[in-house]
C-alpha cells in the first residue's frame, strides 16, 4: 500500500517509528514532515497529508499530533476526508468498518510505539462493511455541500 504520513512537533517521533515499521512491512510511505521538535502548526501538515489522500496519490493517510485531536479536526475540514481519532486498535478497526475513514489520527504523547503499530495493523486489516454504514457515510459526505 501507499500511505501518506504527517505530524507536528508533538507527533514526529511516533510518526517516524511508524513510518519505519510500515516500510519494513513493504509499504511505500510518503513522509510529509515534520521531522523535528521545532514548533509547527498541525493544520498545515493535516492539509499536506489529506491532499494526497483526496487526489488518490495514496491509499490512506496517518496523522499524528500531541493528542491526535487537533490534527483530526483540521483533517476533517478538507472535502473528501473522513478522519478518525484512533486511541485503540478496536476503534481503528471500527473507523474503517463503519465510517470508511481514509485518514487516521494518533496522539503522539499518548500512544506507545507498540500501540501505534497495533492500531495501524488493525485499521489496515479492517474492511468497510457498507450497507447501513454506507448510508451514514453518504450523509456525512453530503454535509460538505
Catalytic residue IDs: 65, 98
CA 25 – CA 139 distance, rounded (Å): 35
Question: 43 near 99, Cβ under 8 Å?
Answer: no
Beta bridge partner(s), residue 103 = 61, 83
Q: Do 80 and 61 meet the contact criterion of CB atoms below 8 Å apart?
A: no
Amino acid at each position: 500500500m501507499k500511505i501518506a504520513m504527517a505530524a507536528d512537533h508533538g507527533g514526529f517521533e511516533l510518526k517516524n517509528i511508524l513510518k519505519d515499521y510500515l516500510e519494513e512491512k513493504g509499504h511505500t510511505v510518503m513522509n510529509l514532515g515534520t521531522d523535528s521538535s521545532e514548533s509547527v502548526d498541525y493544520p498545515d501538515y493535516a492539509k499536506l497529508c489529506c491532499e494526497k489522500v483526496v487526489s488518490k496519490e495514496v491509499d490512506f493517510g496517518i496523522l499524528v499530533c500531541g493528542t491526535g485531536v487537533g490534527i483530526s479536526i483540521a483533517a476533517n475540514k478538507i472535502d473528501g476526508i473522513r478522519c478518525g481519532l484512533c486511541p485503540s486498535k478496536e476503534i481503528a478497526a471500527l473507523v474503517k468498518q463503519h465510517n470508511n475513514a481514509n485518514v487516521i489520527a494518533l496522539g503522539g504523547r499518548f500512544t506507545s510505539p507498540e500501540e501505534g503499530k497495533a492500531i495501524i495493523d488493525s485499521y489496515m486489516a479492517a474492511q468497510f462493511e457498507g450497507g447501513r454504514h454506507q448510508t451514514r457515510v453518504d450523509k456525512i459526505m453530503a454535509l460538505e455541500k
